[in-house]
Amino acid sequence: MKIAIIGIGYVGLVSAACFATWGHEAVGVDKDTGKIAALRLGRLPIYEPGLDQLIAGAVETGNLSFTTDTATAVAAADIVMIAVGTPPRLRDGEADLAFVYAAAKEIAASITGLTVVVTKSTVPVGTGDEIERIIGRARPDARFAVASNPEFLREGCAVADFQKPDRVVLGADDRRAQELLQAVYEPLRRVGVPIVTTRRRTAELIKYAANAFLAVKISYINEMADLCESVGADVREVALGMGLDHRIGAGCLNAGPGYGGSCFPKDTLALLRTSQDHGVPLRIIQESIVANDARKRRMALKVIDALGGDADGRSVAILGLTFKPETDDMREAPSIPLIEALQRAGLKIRAHDPQGMENARALLDDVEFFDDAYECASGADGVVLMTDWACLKSLDLERLSRVVRKPTLIDFRHAFDPAEVRKHGFALTSIGVAPDTQIKTTIRPHSPVLHALRHSPVMESN
């Protein structure tokens, strides 16, 4: 199958490389001449483990190529996939579809023969209809169908997610489009990956519904973490006890400083806008967005508390800046609001990240960056583990304790063994696990306080 992929970001690049390794002829198309020139030299625009070897191998077989020439790539393709960005619009948070529609117009100009145009970007319900209108208006003679094939890959393990997905979703109202797409994914069907075939609008909604559900799940465990700190429970054990119930599942139950990245914050907001447009309230998602935003800012208070409440003039070392490990992506990273809030409180920020410092530099002012984690921690009044990179989780605590000015460790990712941390003289603050001394409320079952709480207006309204 000849596949042209328009937009060589995370999704486009990984999809093109993987399709090529399955034997399809994939062409990655992007307007960015610098990006295409670099890719032709084997240089990737993003950091993603395993992707460079995959691309090198696929280019060598002749199945993968890169071009800036949309017209030629589209004219030759059986399937054209749109994988351009859909960033949130500044004014209302809705997904900005300008790039998607511009791609549709360009595709329309060059279609030859029967072509299936597929959205891989995360697009609001009904976007496929608009793409169909754009192409149909521009080229009433064209033989084409529009389908939706949303991608569920996670940064950092995108290649594995593409090659071994939990499921593939193919949404098309046209039978030929459905058949063509099924042929593309035949290698996965053969090894037992479920292929969910639906109408186009349903496929568009599945992507948002899945991402928003995972975001809600994270907000849920984060709120449980707060409760754990107050009642003296351990959120890791709560998550384990919950996640072993197969109806719940263990994924997305790691309490942390709030979710970030290019998807969850954007997709929850976009889904909320869609629901408002249709007059259908999605209160759970709305609350989850509010809780997550507030949480990211609140984490600064945790750091200041751990420093004894005195921030002015002190310095803190932030280890890990990206929104998750194994990526250089800083989009919506919880480290950004945390650092800004700590700076407002008067703290000096020292920072280190294994891959994200170049992107972080463009977003953060007045931060001293260090290539080495120990150097970063040197002389600091506290160390904050923000992103659980493997190399940060395996830091030598003995060495760390020798370089810091004050042995205070704030572990936002349960990266370290608390006993080890304390053995090396650190005072430890983490998420969802309060030392006995920090338990704020001790309410006995059947106590009058509990009775009063249960009969508060909030509880009664539930």
Which residues make up the interface to ligand UDX (CB under 6 A)?
Answer: 152-155, 211, 214, 218, 252-254, 256, 259-261, 263-264, 323-324
CB of 1 to ligand UDX, least distance (A): 23
CB of 138 to ligand UDX, least distance (A): 30
Q: Considering beta carbons, is residue 214 or 304 the nearer one to ligand UDX?
A: 214
> Minimum Å distance from CB 413 to ligand UDX?
8
Cα–chain-centroid distance for residue 157? 11
The least distance separating ligand UDX from the CB of residue 290, rounded to whole angstroms, comes to 16
Rounded-to-integer distance, Cα 191 and Cα 141, Å: 39
- 323, 303 contact by CB (below 8 A): no
Nearer to ligand UDX, 212 or 349 (CB): 212
One-letter amino acid at 180 equals: L
Residue 53, C-beta contacts closer than 8 angstroms, at least 6 positions apart: none
Q: Tell the burial category of 268 from Cβ atoms under 10 Å away from its Cβ (0-12, 13-18, 19+).
A: buried
Give the nearer residue to ligand UDX in terms of CB position, either 214 or 317: 214
The closest of 60, 68, 54 to 4, measured between CA atoms, is: 68
Cβ neighbours for 363, distance < 8 A, ≥ 6 positions apart: 330, 336
Is the Cβ–Cβ distance between 101 and 139 less than 8 Å? no
Closest C-alpha to 113, from 251, 4, 249: 4
Q: Which residue has the CB atom at the shortest distance from ligand UDX? A: 263
Cβ distance to ligand UDX smaller for residue 166 or 396:
166
Helix (H, G, I), strand (E, B) or coil at 35: helix
Active site residues: 263
Closest separation in Å from C-beta 319 to ligand UDX = 15
Nearest to 437 by CA among 258, 267, 288, 229: 229
66 — phi, psi (to 5°)?
A: -130, 145
Which C-beta is closer to ligand UDX: that of 222 or that of 408?
A: 222
DSSP 372: S
